[in-house]
Amino acid sequence: MLAMNYKNVYELVNNNNNEAIKLLKTIDNTDLQIKILKIKSYSKHVLYFNEAINILNSIEEKKLKKRMFMPILNSLINFNKKKVQEFLNYISSKYFLNEDDLQFFLNNNININNIISKNCIILNKNYFNKNELIIKKKCPNCLNELKKDYINKSILITQFNKHYSFSFNNIKNYNTFIDGNNIIFYDNKKVIYKSFIKLRVIYDKLIKLNYKPIIILHRRHRDFLKKNFPKKYKDIKLILKSLNIFYTPYKQNDDLYFIYGALKTENSYIVTNDKLRDHIFKSKDDNISRLYSKWLETVIIRYTYNNKIIEPNKVSQIAQNINNIWHLPLKNGKWICLK
């Protein structure tokens, strides 16, 4: 079959599936796109449903995509309700799911809260006929406190350790890791005397807010201080000596140290205006990328030109089970308590 005809067959599956089945039966399973069309078509028909599963199982693991599983999941709802939850759990173990994937379960009040949480889903609408609540820390309905570190960081730590090995000791004394380079380069993208003043001001503000900060700074800013700032050398040196600073080695990416520190520390924070996009977690693995992005939402402290500190949410915007009571986040910033 020519590639230009795939669209016609796809439309036939949607509009007249019995005719689509007859046509697809005449075509060999040698082409991946044909296999996908057959899965979509056959899964809609109870007599060909098992054949759709067999075709899915015949596809190489590396070529499998979430969209190949969804027609079978949707048909299981009609043909074998007992297997629906099991198959959903299987898909969720392989791919990240979104709200659209779970419409049947949400609309029919089927408990999938664990999957909503695992997939970091923030719901667009309230499916539960419950009041929408503003929760800063403690739920006003059940009085449980939601958690900040609800995301499972062990997956990110494992991924990090696969790629990097270095020494960063004594981090247990700190919970806030400052991207020093980001701050000192903030004004006009170059380091000037005021850059170090800004670094101290932000550091002092964090202390007053009861954070326990340490600055991550490349050692070249210390080693070449006298050469780069001959007139202000002594003043800058005094500033740096008054701060808790970890100087990173040459030929090392500074970002790795504050990311590692925040991953390994409970209730931790990173102070930066960097988007932190260029890292190992932004990989082809959607699961890891999405988890990394969700984790960053809970740990990044921003700062302004005038050194105002912008703190993140005090709780993870992720479905949380606290004392056997589920709390589900909504896109409007509110929560649903399922007490």
Q: Could you tell me which of 68, 113, 107, 69 has the C-alpha nearest to residue 88? A: 69
What's the predicted TM-score (pTM) here? 0.73
DSSP state of 3: G
The residue from 47, 64, 95 where one domain ends is 95
Residues 296, 170 share a domain = yes
Instruction: Write down the pLDDT at residue 79.
Output: 86
Considering the domain architecture, whether residues 164 and 305 belong to the same structural domain is answered as yes
Q: The tokens of 282 are what?
A: 């932004």
Domain that holds residue 19: 3-95
- Residues 298 and 269: beta-carbon distance below 8 Å: no
Cα 153 to Cα 119, 263, 274, 318, distances in angstroms: 14, 7, 20, 13
Angstrom distance (rounded) from CA 6 to CA 228: 64
- 221 with 288, same domain? yes
Residue 111 domain-assigned?
A: no
CATH number at residue 211: 3.40.50.11980
Q: Which residue has tokens 């796809």?
A: 10
Residue 81 sits in the same domain as residue 173:
no
Question: CA nearest 321: which of 302, 297, 338?
Answer: 338
Q: Tell me the per-residue pLDDT of 233-244, one tens digit each, with 9 for 90 and over.
A: 899 999 999 999
In the chain the first and final C-alpha atoms are separated, in Å, by: 55
Domain boundary among 50, 77, 95: 95
160 and 91 within one domain:
no
pLDDT grade for 4, boundaries at 50, 70 and 90: very low
Both 179 and 275 in one domain: the answer is yes
Place of tokens 């210390």: 222
Residue 235 inside a domain? The answer is: yes
Per-residue pLDDT tens digits for 91-103? 988 888 999 999 9
Q: Which of 264, 256, 252, 288 is nearest to 159 (CA)?
A: 288
Q: What are the Cα distances from residue 51, in Å, to 18, 43, 48? A: 15, 8, 5
Specify the range with the lowest mean pLDDT, choosing from 153-162, 197-206, 207-216: 153-162
Return the CA Rg of the chain.
Answer: 26
Out of 173-182, 287-296, 308-317, the most confident range is 173-182
Asked if residue 243 lies in contact with residue 215, where contact means CB atoms within 8 angstroms, the answer is yes
CA angle 47, 48, 51 (to 5 degrees): 140
Do 91 and 183 sit in the same domain of this protein? no
Whether residues 166 and 56 fall in one domain: no
Is residue 71 one of the residues assigned to a domain? yes
In a domain, residue 320? The reply is no
At 1 the pLDDT is 46
* Lowest model confidence (mean pLDDT) among 130-134, 139-143, 253-257, 319-323: 253-257
pLDDT over 80 (residue 287): no
- Total structural domains in the chain? 2
Written as six digits, the tokens of 191 are 């380091």
Q: Do residues 84 and 176 both lie within one domain?
A: no
67 in helix, strand or coil? helix
Q: Are residues 289 and 193 in the same domain?
A: yes
Specify if 42 maps to a domain.
yes
User: Are 292 and 158 in the same domain?
Assistant: yes
Residue 337 lies in a domain: no
Residue 124 lies in a domain: no
Same domain, 68 and 159: no
